Chains A and B, each alone.
Chain A
Amino acid sequence: MTPTEIRAAASDSPPSRSVLRRFVESRNGLGLLFMLPAAAFLLCFLTYPLGLGVWLGFTDTTIGRPGIFIGLENYAWLLDDPVFWLAVFNTVLYTAIASVLKFGLGLWLALILNERLPFKTFFRAIVLLPWVVPTVLSALAFWWIYDSQFSIISHVLMGWGWIDAPINFLGDPGAARASVIAANVWRGIPFVAISLLAGLQTIPQSLNEAAVLDGATPWQRFTKITLPLLTPIIAVVMTFSVLFTFTDFQLIYVLTRGGPVNATHLMATLSFQRAIPGGQLGEGAAIAVAMIPFLLAAILFSFFGLQRRKWQQGGQD
């Protein structure tokens, strides 16, 4: 055989094959084919509602009347709306404080649960409890706990003689903010704690033992071994936690409906209030769209946080 013949025989896709066949047999072609259903699904159930929401934000639609395109008028209006800016401030504050608390307390709980302690599985199950209770149900429970007259907390504190009158948990702006944040933290801790616990369990015991022999104090073991090895998981967990908190709606809506005097209005609750009870669909959509830049920022942050660290890459030189 001449070299050309050999090459032709060795080639696995002779020209006689159909284009379709070649497409299906090539690695990328098949991959594309398998991705089609997922892409169609995403298009129908994610992109369409998202696109519709964005479009509504550019119209003056109200309930019962299809709107017309009004450009950036909704946004211009929002820029001058102090309630909108208060909601933005509240959302950022709520997310920041709640996320920091959830991280701190969740990590602490995970570390405790990772130690050898009696009834370990029992405690792990208990920790999951706030997570499995439906949000609305736990919000109702908190509503009762924060009741201005019958609050159990006020009752106990008064019994100890620490305070004279019941605390007006949800009536005072400052107290209301603290109260909803506390409820959100209570609800969010299980996710953080259990995820970080799973991460802790992937750290081999022998690393800690080696560090002990190298003379590390418990604090040094935590900062030099545990924490660095846990960062990839912390990045994932906290990204999700921030996203959940930023878009929180149920808890606020049941506890305060944004009050008192909008002190606990988040962007999600304000958007809903303007759109559904208020009927201003266009404006509500614009508020919701205004959340997107914040969420994108969080996702970008996690994208860089989640990149494989140099030490996680192996194999090649």
Chain B
Amino acid sequence: MASVEFIDVRKSFGAHPVLKGIDITIADGEFVILVGPSGCGKSTLLRTLAGLENISAGEIRINGRPVNTLPPKERDIAMVFQNYALYPHLTVAENMGFSLMLKKTPKAEIATQVRPAAEILGLTHLLDRYPRQLSGGQRQRVAMGRAIVRDPQVFLFDEPLSNLDAKLRVAMRSEIKELHQRLGTTIIYVTHDQIEAMTMADRIVVMQDGRVEQIGTPLDLYDRPVNQFVAGFIGSPAMNFIEGRLAPDGSRFVAADGTALPLPAGTDVASRTAAGRALVYGLRPESVRLDPAGGVPAQVVVTEPTGAETQVSARLASTGVICVFRERIAARPGEIIHVSVDTSATHLFDAETGQRL
């Protein structure tokens, strides 16, 4: 168990900067999830912590101790690679016990340590197989098993569930969560899956282009995104953005086509004075309600019932938006519906800087 600190960590490959000053402090036993678009440097960040890449500047600390020059072996970190990296010439059992074998642990001892991990991951019947003889999902579980057997200070997971089917993914999600609660080991976890990020993380780190955009609890990021990027990245379906300005009297938001929308609750006075500036209105798909009596008109493009709710693609203020309704609605394409907006869950962003007002 260990705390981890990244202090202004920078990393360049040649002249190409990949990490541009990362500051993250992770408490002992915390479950932190890294999200961000492909190529933003998530894997690179994990690799610098594991010691597989040297950093160009900054400092990484584990348990308060700088590890910049510590070889990977002594950092006591287990990593599940994006491509599994299973040893093809070793069986599942040998793969999982590899680290123990290196330490010359007796065979019987290795077997007793591998078995519980294999049981957790449902690999017991596969222990004698070679990686080639496994499906993608099974390989992924073996890679996780290999990390679990290590019992390290920190677990690094690089998209460990991306190859599993939906059902197994849900099962593995709770397995990992349970594992974390049982072992209490610090976990840093990369994923592209919104639901994984929202349900598993103690805190989420949103990255973009080698920088940290925001760090916070899942609900923090959902309710109070610092900028348009985070707002668009967290939540599924993604937040809708409508361009426009404040009305001259600062009482409403006026979209480019003249449609008026109510201001988000708590928009402060200072920003009301920003009348005339180009702004972006952020509207969560979940924060609209059907309101035939009044509200904003929207023209239905497609209706997609998912059973529990109805997802409607519509044109609102001449912008394509997605709305999610609790009730089942049978609107046909082209029909006009009227919606009202929950102003406690909408945001205004500066169109130029992307910052939330």
Q: Which residues on A are within 8 Å of B, measured CB to CB?
A: 204, 206-207, 209-217, 220, 224-225, 228-229, 309-317
Contacts and interface: CB of A to CB of B under 8 A. Distances in A.
B103 A215 contact: yes
B79 A216 contact: no
A206 B85 CA distance: 6
Q: Which 4 A-B pairs have the closest CB atoms?
A: A314-B132, A206-B85, A214-B99, A210-B85
26 contacts: A206-B81, A207-B85, A209-B81, A210-B81, A212-B51, A212-B72, A212-B73, A213-B50, A213-B52, A214-B150, A215-B73, A215-B99, A215-B102, A216-B73, A217-B73, A224-B98, A311-B88, A311-B89, A311-B130, A311-B132, A312-B88, A312-B132, A313-B130, A313-B132, A313-B133, A314-B132
Contacts of A317: 133
Interface string B108-138: 0000000000000000000000111100000
Interface in B65-103: 72-73, 77-79, 81, 83, 85-90, 98-99, 101-103
Nearest to B80: A210
A313 B86 CA distance: 15
Contacts of A310: 130
A189 to B, nearest CB: 27
User: For A211, A214, A216, A316, which residue has the most chain B Cβ atoms within 10 angstroms?
Assistant: A214
Contacts of B52: 209, 212-213
Contacts of B86: 210
User: For B72, B77, B89, B150, which residue has the most chain A Cβ atoms within 10 angstroms?
Assistant: B89
Nearest to A206: B85
A229 B131 CA distance: 14
Contacts of B87: 207, 210-211, 225
A209 B50 CA distance: 10
User: For A207, A210, A310, which residue has the most chain B Cβ atoms within 10 angstroms?
Assistant: A210
B81 to A, nearest CB: 5
B77 A213 contact: yes
Contact of A213 (B79, B101, B130, B131): B79
Given A311-B90, A315-B132, A206 B99 contact: no
Interface string B31-57: 000000000000000000011100000
B102 A213 contact: no
User: For B78, B87, B90, which residue has the most chain A Cβ atoms within 10 angstroms?
Assistant: B87
Q: How large is the interface on B (under 10, 10 to 19, 20 to 34, 35 or more residues)?
A: 20 to 34
Contacts, number: 70
Given A214-B102, A220-B102, A228-B89, 8 more contacts: A209-B52, A210-B85, A213-B52, A213-B73, A213-B79, A214-B99, A217-B73, A225-B87
B89 A213 contact: no
Given A215-B99, A220-B102, A314-B133, A206 B73 contact: no
Nearest to B129: A317
A297 B90 CA distance: 30
Contacts of B131: 311
A204 B131 CA distance: 14
A44 to B, nearest CB: 42
B4 to A, nearest CB: 15
Contacts of B89: 228-229, 309, 311
Main secondary structure on A side of the interface with B: helix
Nearest to B97: A214
A161 B356 CA distance: 83
Nearest to B150: A214
A229 B90 CA distance: 10
A68 B85 CA distance: 66
B102 A224 contact: yes
B90 A214 contact: no
Contact of B85 (A204, A220, A311, A316): A204
Interface string B199-237: 000000000000000000000000000000000000000
Contacts of A214: 98-99, 102, 146, 150
Given A213-B79, A214-B99, A216-B102, A315 B85 contact: no
A221 to B, nearest CB: 10
Contacts of B101: 224
Contacts of A215: 73, 99, 102-103
A204 B99 CA distance: 19
B357 to A, nearest CB: 45
A311 B88 CA distance: 6
Contacts of A207: 85, 87-88
Nearest to B77: A213
A216 B71 CA distance: 11
B135 to A, nearest CB: 11
Nearest to B83: A206
A312 B89 CA distance: 7
B352 to A, nearest CB: 42
User: For A212, A311, A316, which residue has the most chain B Cβ atoms within 10 angstroms?
Assistant: A311
A229 B77 CA distance: 25
A310 B89 CA distance: 8
A208 B121 CA distance: 24
Nearest to B50: A213
A211 B83 CA distance: 14
A220 B101 CA distance: 11
A201 B98 CA distance: 23
A314 to B, nearest CB: 3
Contacts of A228: 89
Contacts of B133: 313-317
Contacts of B88: 207, 229, 311-312
B90 to A, nearest CB: 7
A309 B131 CA distance: 13
A219 to B, nearest CB: 11
A163 to B, nearest CB: 46
Contacts of A213: 50, 52, 72-73, 77-79
